[in-house]
Structure 1
Amino acid sequence: MQFVSRSQWGARPSRYSLVYIADTRGVKIHYEGTAVPASLAKADNHRLCAGRVRDIQASHLANRMEDYSDIAYNAMVCPHGYVYEGRGAHKKTAANGNQPLNIAHYAVCAMVGDSGLTQPTDAQLNGLRDAVEWLRASGGAGSEIRGHRDGYATECPGGPLYAWVTKGAPRPGGSAPSKPSAYEPFPGQGWFKKNPNSPIVTAMGRRLVAEGCSAYGEGPGPQWTESDRQSYARWQRHLGYRGDDADGWPGPSSWAALKVPNV
C-alpha cells in the first residue's frame, strides 16, 4: 500500500476530538460528487493530489452547517493509487449520511467526480482495496464493501464506482470475491453496547421471536433496548450458555447460530 499519513499530506488539526469506534460492519465507498479535472490522473500530476486533500479538509472545516470535526472521510484515494489518511482507523466518519450509518461503516473517498474524471483508474481501484484492507487490519472493519447510496438517498459514489462495488470490488485483473453470505456479519459486541438504532436490531429481534426467545412487550424495533438484551439472553440460554456467557450481549458464535438475514 502506498500510504500517505496526515502529517505527510499536511493535515490541519481536528476541530473537536474525533469519536472512537472499536469496529464497523465494513466500509462504504464515496466519490467527490463535484467536478474533478480529468488531468489529475496524469502521472506527472500526482504532485497535485496532497493539495487536493488539503483543500477538501479545508472545505469541510469551513462548513459551519455540518460543523465537521475534520475531513469527513477515514481515507481518500487518488487516481495514482495512493491512500491518504483522513480521520483514520477507529474514528467515526461523518460522510455516510446520519449517525447510525456513520457508526456502521467507515468511509473511503475516491478522487473522482460527477464530471471530468469520472472513471476510476486501475491504480485507484487497487488503492481503494488497499484502504479497505488497511481499515480491516487496523480498524476492525467488517467484511462489507458498499456504496454511499446503500442506505442513504444519494448518487454517490457515481455510476462507474458503484458498478465496481456491486461486482464485489475486485482488484483489476483479479476475480471478484465470492458471493457474500445471506446473513448479517457480526457487527461487534461494542456496537450493541452503544445502543444502536438500526434495521439490524429489528431483524435480530424477529429472529429471536421466531426462535421462541422473545422478552418483548412490543416490537421488536430498530432501537436496541433492554428487551433486546433479555431476548438475546434467552437465546444464549437456549444454546446452552450459562452465567456470564448468557448476559444478553451478542457474541460471534451465538450471532452466527441465530442467522440474522441481511438487511
Structure 2
Amino acid sequence: MATPLSASALLAALRAEGVDVVEHRSWRTHNRNHKGAWGPLNGVMIHHTVSKGTDASVELCYDGHAALPGPLCHGVIDKAGTVHLVGNGRANHAGGGDPAVLRRVLTEDYGDRPPAPREHEGSAGAVDGNARFYGFECVNLGDGEDPWPAAQLDAIERVSAALCRAHGWTARSVVGHLEWSDRKVDPRGFTMPSLRDRVTARLSAPASGRPADRPSGGTPTPRYQPFPGAPFFTARTSSPVITAMGRRLVAEGCSAYATGPGPRWTDADRRSYAAWQRKLGFRGSDADGVPGRASWNALKVPHTR
C-alpha cells in the first residue's frame, strides 16, 4: 500500500518516464475526496472511454455527467500518446470490485492474471476501488475494431511504469477494469498480460525519455545516474555526481551558480535544484532544493564512472 502522490510528484514521475503531459484546467484540485477515502493506494487501473475525439473525451472525463460526476479518472490517454491530467485525488473510475483481486494485487503474487472477479459496483462483497487505484481512461470506442496506435500503447506503458516506479510496485499492480469488476470489459483491443510484460521490461531499466530521444543504430542508450537518496545531499558530500547534476541544472536554465558547478554540495546547488523543482511544478516544501526521486529521474543526470 502507498500514500498517494501529490499533484507535483505525479507530474514529475510521468515526465521522468518520458510521458507527454497536458495539464487540463484545475486538475490539481479536482477530485471527489469529499465522498470518500483516497488511499492507501494499491495500483493503477486502465480503462477505455467508449468515445472518440481527444477534446470531447477529455471534457467528459473532467466533468462527468449527471449520473456520475467527474473526474472520471486521473488522466486521459489520447491516440497520439498524450496524457491529459484531469484529476488529483479520488475519482469516479473504478467503482466496486472484488476483494480477492485487491488482495492479490496488494501481494503481487498472481501469475498471468489476477483471479477472475466475482463482484461489481453494488454487489454484497464489493470493495471501493475509487479509494485504491489511480485510473487512466484511454480514448477508444471499445468495440474491438477501433485501433490502438503504437504511440497510445507506449503512453499506457509509460504511465503504468511511472507510477509503479514511484511507489516501488511491480507490473502486477497494473490491472484492467475487466480484471476488477465482473461487469466490465475494458480495456478491449489489447490484453493486460501483454501490457504487464511491457511494463516489466521498462522497469528493468532506469526511467528514460521518449523513443525519439534515444540514439539509433549502434549507439548505446544513455545511462542515467540512479537517485542516490536525499541524505547523499545533506552530509557534506563531495562527488562527481553533484558536478554532473549541476551541469544538467545549468542546461535546464535553473542555475544559481556564480562559479562551477563543482563536486561539493553547496547552497548554490540547493538553490539551483529548487529552481528545477519549481520548473517541474513543485511548490512550498516540495521545492526545498533537496533532490527527491521523481525530480531526480526527470533531470536525467548522466551516469558517472
User: TM (normalized to structure 2)?
Assistant: 0.42
User: TM (normalized to structure 1)?
Assistant: 0.48
